């Protein structure tokens, strides 16, 4: 189990006991302010604990939904505009307005870790919106995989989400041409 500093301090009561526990390998320091009773912790567990309000998006979300087999170089997360900046080379932070940030947030289990991620419908809208910002081959791969699962895509969610985005009519038209 992962603990932040406050939680581990509550367990060990003071720095001396914490240092003793670390020396005796009862607990392990995983990252700054993060501790675990297991020396091997999944990287997504660390991200979920350290940044509880971050929502996985972009190439990372497509990968975790098995819509692409290209492993992302960095984890893309979205936070609201007022969130603290994430200073981590392995994480790309996208800050957005509350109106867009909260649309389509869900949780999934990936390799035993519960993560915050945007749902497939939101990610399909994002794919169409950001078509020109990704490679052609990656875009075609993800669109082809969306076509395969088009029966499981909830069109009501898409219709509910679209009014919040600029050029909603064009996005809907492209969705109908490319996927459905």
What backbone torsions phi and psi does residue 3 show, to the nearest 5 degrees?
A: -130, 140
Distance CA 71, CA 34 (A): 25
Average pLDDT over residues 36-43: 93
Q: Is the pLDDT of residue 179 over 90?
A: no
Mean pLDDT computed over 47-56:
95
Q: In angstroms, what CA-CA distances link 173 with 47, 97, 129, 153, 179?
A: 36, 25, 12, 16, 10
The predicted model scores a pTM of: 0.89
b/e string for 7-38 if b means 16 or more Cβ within 10 A?
Answer: ebeeebeeeeebeebeeeeebeebeeebbbee
The pLDDT tens digits of the residues spanning 109-140 come to: 999 999 999 999 999 999 999 999 999 999 99
């Amino acid at each position: 189990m992962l603990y932040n500093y406050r939680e581990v301090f509550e367990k060990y009561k003071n720095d001396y006991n914490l240092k003793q526990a670390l020396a005796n390998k009862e607990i392990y320091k995983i990252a700054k302010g993060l501790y675990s009773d297991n020396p091997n912790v999944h990287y997504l567990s660390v991200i979920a604990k350290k940044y509880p309000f971050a929502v996985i998006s972009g190439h990372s979300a497509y990968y975790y939904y098995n819509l692409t087999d290209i492993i992302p170089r960095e984890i893309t997360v979205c936070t609201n505009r007022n969130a603290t900046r994430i200073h981590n080379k392995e994480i790309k932070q996208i800050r957005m307005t509350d109106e867009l940030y909260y649309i389509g947030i869900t949780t999934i289990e990936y390799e035993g870790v519960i993560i915050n991620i945007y749902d497939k419908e939101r990610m399909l809208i994002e794919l169409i919106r950001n078509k020109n910002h990704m490679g052609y081959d990656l875009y075609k791969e993800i669109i082809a995989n969306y076509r395969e699962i088009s029966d499981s895509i909830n069109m009501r969610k898409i219709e509910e989400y679209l009014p919040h985005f600029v050029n909603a009519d064009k996005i809907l038209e492209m969705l109908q041409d490319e996927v459905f």
